[in-house]
Structure 1
Amino acid sequence: MAAALPRTFRRILCEKFSPDFRQATRIVDTPMVNPGAKELLIKNRYLGINASDINFTAGRYFNGDEQPPFGVGFEAIGEIVALGNECQRHFKVGNHVAYMQNGSFAEYMVVPAREAFPIPSCNPEYIPFMVSGLTASISLDQLGDLKSGETVLVTAAAGGTGQFAVQLAKAAGCHVIGTCSSSEKAEFLRNIGCDRPVNYKTENLDQVLKKEYPKGIDVVYESIGAEMFNICLENLAIKGRLIVIGYISGYQTAKGVSKSRNLIIPPRLLSKSSSLRGFLLFHYVKHYGKHFQKLANMYHRAELKSSVDLGQQVHYKGLDSIAEAIDYMYSGKNKGKIIVELPKQTSML
């Protein structure tokens, strides 16, 4: 028998556009909702934190047709607590699911059944398979053209998405270089199979690449931008591919981009027959199911590690801790995917 649902639940709304998450958002009480015929009502247990959360609150993904207030957060896993009558063939109350839906920073969420991924349990290690894992898996598959024996560079390699890019490139038979910012992260990278961790706080990445990889890098998985992007571009191999999945160095600025000295992209690309390829996950919706299942299967066969970070000094728990978790991500101290736990029990008010 399904547990009784509270009359209201809490969620986070963006009330004004700003890259400052605290200034942009507040937690509100919302009347409980009922799922439609083809929908699931999910009680969230774990929420994923993403660098692009503040791009969303800044309004950078809208074309002027969306105004606050609106829900924030991109992904969660949880338990089905109610469902529409057309979903009962494939789901039942008590099943666990993962999903990606705008507004997921909430205690409860109504999700179209077709967009939910069944999972065997609410293990938080399933959270990284979504935004982070799908970004790595789909972009490398669709844009990377990986070939066994090639050299791959992953920036921010110890982060939520970088950890998957490293492991998937290794699984494809590539030699993998990963950038990071501490000796602890370098050890983390070695443990997931990275051939050459580079701590850019103690080593000069440009010098390392030119000395140790004089023929250049075949594929770059780039998420930082600014000077890191410049170094990656300058060290591409002939016919190299530079995949841009983000530019986190600029997200906290007013305009959302960081200054770059690079005004010579065309001749750089032309001189090596190399290419620059942008990737935004939400343009590849039709690939979600296939790649989520691929990651889950690899994980279940112990061929893929999924590392999560619930915080170093404190355990991020509850909606009130999300802003702090975002700050932690931008401090650059996390290893793996930052997640926030929600309590099992909810007030019945």
Structure 2
Amino acid sequence: MSVSSLLRTSCRRAFGVIGGGRRSVSDLLSGVHVVPRRSIIDLSYSTHFMDFKGSSIPSSMQKLTVTRLSQHFKEAVCLNTVPVPTPGDGDLLVRNRFVGINASDINYSAGRYDPSLKPPFDCGFEGVGEVVGLGLSASARHTIGETVAYFSDGAFAEYTVVPAKKAMAVPSAKPEFLTLLVSGATAYIALKRLGELTEGETVLVTAAAGGTGQFAVQFAKRAGCHVVGTCSTDEKAGFLKSIGCDRAVNYAAEDLGQVLRQEYPKGVDVVYESVGGGVFDLAVNSLATGGRLIVIGFISGYQSASGVATVKGGTLPIKLLQKSASVRGFFLPHFLRDYQEALGSMMQMVAQGTLVCEVDCGDQAQEGRFVGLESVFRAVDHLYAGKNLGKIVVEVAPAPFASSKL
């Protein structure tokens, strides 16, 4: 008998049709336990993929959470143990290798950016690490084991769920890539959109040896400008000269106002300003005719109750009018339409070896390298003590021993 004949006979026997007899459906099902129908594909796993074996994903993790609003980071933030989250359809689950420290971390913990946000909430703006889980839609552009850098809330954690659209694939989990996400992008976009740099102009960068200042110096030089950078030590001054700064001013040893008056009597054309207070006032007084002052921050006031350092605002209108000058504010989330172009351009510079991304991992700090989430507190103190050279980065976890295999 052929295979097809055997199949037809088996089917007829199953339904009681041999010899022309026919049994009712109720007779056939009598005494039989009916198993609920199920799909061949288990759809319960179709919305996300988690590489538990290759990545050794634990059931719980540590993360930093803002539990009360305060400009004092240690008072506002606690280290908690929570379940590892599962990514949604358009999300990635990233195991963080490095996270970045920003002066504005304490503005976020103080609730200054979004007054409607109430504790508890996650903190940290940027990270780089490996994708260990992802949603179905996210899998169209990313894969398990891929290394990504991202600019998204909740980075101060061992694992972070990140919208795929906010992540960028990078060659490796090096902290240098992390420096581009906030610090580099701020300098690139602010100078391009608001600085309107012209070759031969003079640009003053305050806190020039810091996370974003280092990039402002380099982008201004690429535009053909003469760059003046402020810093607090001779070591930092040497670093600034190494990245192209024409005049590094160590304000601990020199009077910045006197330097500007004597060496730049016609004023400066553009100021990239992040300090605030008296430095802001000095920068306004030093503007040339048609000068542009870009406010990207005012760190000198962040640790105060108001978050703002006092400036001589009463005389500002007349000073700007007399010089046809302007003060322009820059907040990165308002310029996200320029973000991808900025990252792409900077990544190309890094690949070509034409962009320095200085990282401070705390190797010279008194208690040593910033390793583990608990060292985020030390890293924030390191920044506000003005001890950093370059972008402060915390190593959350060491490199994995085995590659992901899904």
TM band (smaller chain)? over 0.9
How do 1:78-97 residues align onto structure 2 when only pairs under 5 Å count? Answer: 78-97=129-148
Please report how far the alpha carbon of residue 114 of structure 1 lies from its aligned counterpart in structure 2 after TM superposition.
1.0
**C-alpha contact 2:203 2:268 (8 A) present in aligned 1:** yes
**1-structure distance, mates of 2:258, 2:308:** 26
In 1: Cα distance, 2:141 partner to 2:216 partner: 32
Q: Which residue of 2 aligns with 1:40?
A: 92
* Residue of structure 2 aligned with 1:149, choices 200, 205, 216: 200
Q: Does 1:5 align with 2:57?
A: yes
Question: Residues 1-349 of structure 1: matches in 2 within 5 Å?
Answer: 2-63=54-115, 65-311=116-362, 312-313=364-365, 314-344=368-398
CA distance in 1, matches of 2:131, 2:328: 38
Counterpart secondary structure, 2:288: strand
Q: Give me the whole-angstrom Cα distance separating, in 2, the residues matched to 1:246 and 1:186.
A: 21
CA deviation after TM superposition for structure 1 residue 4, in Å: 3.2
Residue identity matched to 1:325: A
1:62/1:144 Cα in 2 relative to 1: closer, same or farther (>3 Å)?
same
Shift of 1:285: 1.3
Q: Distance in 1 between matches of 2:55 and 2:107?
A: 37
Which amino acid in the other structure matches residue 200 of structure 1?
Y
**Contact between 1:46 and 1:342, CA under 8 Å: does it hold in 2?**
yes
Residue type at the aligned position of 2:133: A
8 Å CA contact 1:9, 1:107 repeated in 2: yes
Do the aligned residues in 1 keep the contact of 2:97 with 2:399 (CA within 8 Å)? no
Cα displacement (A) at 1:262: 4.1
Cα deviation, residue 338, structure 1? 0.3
Q: Deviations over 1:298-341 (max 9, x none)?
A: 11111110000011131000010001100000110111000000
AA of the residue aligned to 1:268: K
Structure 1 consecutive aligned stretches of length 4 or more whose deviation exceeds 3 Å: none
Distance in 2 between residues matched to 1:321 and 1:85, nearest whole Å: 35
Q: What code does the residue aligned with 2:263 have?
A: E
Work out whether residues 3 and 81 of structure 1, in 8 Å CA contact, stay in contact via their aligned partners in 2: yes
CA RMSD across the alignment: 1.1
Shift of 1:343: 1.7
Match of 2:5 in 1: none
* Kept after mapping to 2: 8 A contact 1:14/1:26: yes
Q: How far apart, in 1, do the equivalents of 2:232 and 2:397 lie? A: 33
Counterpart AA for 1:341: E
| Structure with more contact order per residue of length (Cα contacts < 8 Å, sep ≥ 6) | 1
| Equivalent pair of 1:149/1:174 in contact (CA under 8 Å) | yes
Distance 1:330 1:39 in 2: 34
Alignment partners' CA distance in 2, 1:304 and 1:66: 37
**Percent identity of equivalent pairs:** 50
Q: Deviations over 1:230-285 (max 9, x none)?
A: 11000100000000000000001111112223420000000000000000011111
How far did residue 89 of structure 1 move?
A: 2.8
Distance 1:41 1:178 in 2: 39
Measure the CA separation in 2 of the matches of 1:18 and 1:221: 28
**Separation in 1 of the partners of 2:398 and 2:157?**
13
Q: TM-score, normalised by structure 2?
A: 0.83
> Matched residues in 1 for 2:209 and 2:314: separation?
29
Residue 80 of structure 1 aligns to a residue in which SS?
A: strand
TM-fit CA distance, 1:104: 0.8
Change (3 A) 1:262 1:201: farther
Q: Which amino acid aligns with 1:277?
A: R
Q: What's the offset of the Cα at 1:3?
A: 2.5
CA gap of 1:267–1:298, structure 2 versus 1, over 3 A, is same
Q: Secondary structure at the match of 1:130?
A: helix
CA radius of gyration, larger in: 2
> Residues 2 and 93 of structure 1 are in contact (CA less than 8 Å); yes or no, is this contact kept in structure 2?
no
Consecutive unaligned residues of structure 1, counting only runs of 5 or more, are none
Deviations 1:18-56 (A, max 9, x none): 011111111111112111121111000000000000011
Alpha-carbon offset, residue 9 of structure 1:
0.9
Shift of 1:68: 0.3
The size of the alignment, in residue pairs, is 345
